[in-house]
Amino acid sequence: MEELPQVYFRAIEKISRLLTEGTDFRQTMYNVLVRLARQTGMKRGMISLYRRDLEEIHVDISYGIPESRGPVFYRLGEGVTGKVVATGRPLAIPRLDREPMFLDRTGARRDIDRSTLAFICVPIRYAGEVVGALSVDRAARDADLKTEVAFLEVVANLLAPQVHARRVKDENIKLREALGRHGPLGTIVGNAASMRVVAEQLQQVADSDVTVLITGETGTGKGLVAAEIHQRSRRRKDPFVRLNCAAIPENLVESELYGHEKGAFTGALERRIGKFEQAGGGTIFLDEIGELPLASQTKLLHVLEERRFERVGGGATIRAAARVVAATNRNLEAEVSAGGFRSDLYYRLNVFPIHLPPLRERGADVIMLADYFVKKIGEKQGRPIDRIDSSALDLLISYHWPGNVRELQNCLERAVLLATDGVIHGYHLPPSLQAAEGGEVLPEEGRTDFASLVRAYETTLIVEALKKSRGNQTRAAALLGTTKRVVQYKVSTYGIDYKKFAGINVGDDR
């Protein structure tokens, strides 16, 4: 990096102080621009945020630019700012009048002699990703552009965490709006990048008649997504009918799907209306489609192609008007190769695939979902929960969730029942989660006998106390309201390595 003159150091010092003191994002950022103007001779300044979901760069905060022109934004790659965000590289323009790329979309420099102005724009990066841009203009004649770029890059680094946080907040609001527009708000909780893709796909496909195939491990929300698709389609006033292909005996599948006439087979005492007919012009949800017997696959393919069917044992032809949504937790492509699933039916269903990622790949969504569930369950059970403590959050985050969202929901239902003070603690979570973090000192997965539970419970309490006391057993004992002897005894019988807590710093509970 270039050597920075003293004046820049003072500006950096001031700016970092503004950033730690400020509480309101816009006000803080504005103050930073004011500081840049006062101390470094900047004339105009802009802080822009890159919105991934819109692929647009929004000028969020500006200094020295008239406000009256309404929102200003650039597409990715458009203008100087768009280029900087797209490439992640700073741009410095010595004289604005010679730069065709410069758009002056804010209109601030319309009546100014541009030959007197230099313009510098640097990316704002956070965690390796460009989250926005900082740009300034200053008098062309006294600009040392190289130093200026180096300085502004330092400032951009200082701004980055707050710009990032702001952007995440904006995107959450946007996502909630998108989800809330059609169905009841918050039926699908999530903000992982992979879930945003799902939200987008939902939006794209819901209002069409296209067949959708939803894939994903058990408990990832396939049923929920199917219902959402129906809710957001123009068929929402018509029935949503689900058939669980795994739950019906092979010989009854067709009667379930298409219905039967009285006397069609032994036991067909009455005429029966099948799921396709029940769904009418609504949506038929073929859940666990991978379990459909081969013979039934052939018939289903035929119905989907012809868009009509007959009841079993009946003559009249009925139109199959329902929209088809199917789901499976199997890998249908592999099933096709193995001969268990007809390839032509697979292609017929897989017109618009939506894949739900496993919960362990959704990052912080675990926490978002946990907050959502404890609130919902707490209200339903009349046991309001204020918070989930850090020991419980640690366990939730480090667990691998083979049963995905459903397993998380079940865990928290149990935890809400066990909670006594409106707080979910680590020891309210099942032993299988404790095992994942604590290693061999905790009960093996699935062990739920009394002794194992007590052991898990005690271990969690002691580990939590040791974290707080940084490995000091006397203080841990005081926190637990017991004696040091008891703590020492448990530490040695449970094989807890108290020394490893000496260096750790536990943040406050949220």
Ligand X SMILES: Nc1ncnc2c1ncn2[C@@H]1O[C@H](COP(=O)(O)OP(=O)(O)OP(=O)(O)O)[C@@H](O)[C@H]1O
What does the binding site for ligand X look like in residue numbers (CB under 6 A)?
188-190, 216, 218-224, 329, 369, 405-406, 409
Q: Which entry of Mg ion, ligand X, none binds 189, CB below 5 to 8 A by partner kind?
A: ligand X
Minimal distance, residue 188 CB to ligand X, in Å: 5
How many CA atoms lie within 13 Å of 419's alpha carbon, on the beta-carbon side?
Answer: 27
- Residue length of the chain: 510
Among ligand X, Mg ion, none, what binds residue 218 when CB lies within 5 to 8 Å by partner kind? ligand X
- Closest separation in Å from C-beta 211 to ligand X: 18
User: Which of ligand X, Mg ion, none lies near 358, with the C-beta cut-off 5 to 8 A by kind?
Assistant: none
State the minimum distance, in angstroms, from the CB of residue 422 to ligand X.
22
What, of Mg ion, ligand X, none, does residue 430 touch, CB below 5 to 8 Å by kind? none
Select 219 or 426, whichever has its Cβ closest to ligand X. 219
Closer by beta carbon to Mg ion, 61 or else 408? 408
Residue 245 or 303: the one with the smaller Cβ distance to Mg ion is 245
The separation between CA 359 and the C-alpha centre of its own chain, rounded to angstroms, equals 10
471 binds, among Mg ion, ligand X, none (CB under 5 to 8 A by kind): none
| Min dist. Cβ of residue 62 to Mg ion (A) | 49
Q: Which residues bind Mg ion (CB under 5 A)?
A: 222-223
> Which of ligand X, Mg ion, none does 366 bind, CB closer than 5 to 8 A by kind?
none
Min dist. Cβ of residue 287 to Mg ion (A): 5
How far apart are CB 32 and Mg ion at their closest, in Å? Answer: 50
Residue nearest to ligand X (CB): 221
Which is nearer to ligand X, 149 or 178 (by Cβ)? 178
Do the bridges between strand 73-75 and strand 387-388 make them parallel or antiparallel, or are there none, so unpaired?
unpaired
Q: Considering the complex, what minimum distance in angstroms separates the CB of residue 403 from ligand X?
A: 8
Q: Where are the beta strands (DSSP E) in 64-155?
A: 73-75, 91-93, 117-126, 129-139
CA distances, 46 to each of 65, 85, 162, 479 (Å): 9, 14, 15, 51
Q: Work out how close the CB of 330 gets to ligand X at its nearest, in angstroms, rounded to a whole number.
A: 10
Tokens 């859940």, located at residue: 287
User: 227 or 462: whose CB is closer to ligand X?
Assistant: 227
DSSP E strands in 178-307: the ranges are 212-215, 240-244, 259-260, 272-273, 283-287
Picked from ligand X, Mg ion, none, the partner binding residue 221 (CB below 5 to 8 A depending on kind) is: ligand X
Task: Provide the CB-side half-sphere exposure for 190 (13 A, CA).
Answer: 24
Token reading at 436:
């994942």
Q: Which option in ligand X, Mg ion, none does residue 487 bind, with CB closer than 5 to 8 A by kind?
A: none
Nearer to ligand X, 219 or 378 (CB): 219
Shorter beta-carbon distance to ligand X: residue 105 or 406: 406
Residue 469 binding target from Mg ion, ligand X, none, CB below 5 to 8 Å by type:
none
CB of 444 to ligand X, least distance (A): 24
Cα distance between residue 325 and residue 289, in whole Å: 10
Cβ contacts of residue 467 below 8 Å, gap of 6+?
391, 501, 504, 506
Considering beta carbons, is residue 221 or 378 the nearer one to ligand X? 221
The entry of Mg ion, ligand X, none near residue 236 (CB within 5 to 8 angstroms by kind) is none
Q: Are 342 and 292 in contact (CB under 8 A)?
A: no
Nearest approach, Cβ of 401 to Mg ion (angstroms)? 16
- Partner interacting with residue 405 (select from ligand X, Mg ion, none; CB below 5-8 Å by kind): ligand X
Paired tokens of 394: 């640690």
Which residue lies nearer to Mg ion by CB, 188 or 385? 188
Q: How far is the CB of 197 from ligand X (least distance, A)?
A: 13
- 80 versus 212: smaller Cβ distance to ligand X: 212
* Residue 282 binding partner per list ligand X, Mg ion, none, with a CB distance cut-off of 5 to 8 Å that depends on partner kind: none
- The CA–CA distances, whole Å, from 109 to 32, 140, 463 equal 21, 14, 62
Whole-number Cα distances in Å, 211 to 215, 226, 241, 325, 353:
13, 11, 15, 6, 9
- d(CA 398, CA 299) in angstroms, rounded, equals 46
CA 387, CA 276: separation in Å to the nearest integer?
45
Helix (H) or strand (E) holding 302: helix 294-306
**Smallest separation (angstroms) from Mg ion to the CB of 248:** 15
Nearer to ligand X (CB atom), residue 219 or residue 443? 219
* Choice between 203 and 409, CB closer to ligand X: 409
CA dist 418 → 36, 218, 280, 378, 430 (Å): 54, 26, 45, 11, 11
Q: What is the rounded CA–CA span in Å between residue 344 and residue 335?
A: 12
Residues 6+ apart with CB under 8 A from 17: none
Burial class (CB in 10 A: 0-12, 13-18, 19+), 365: buried
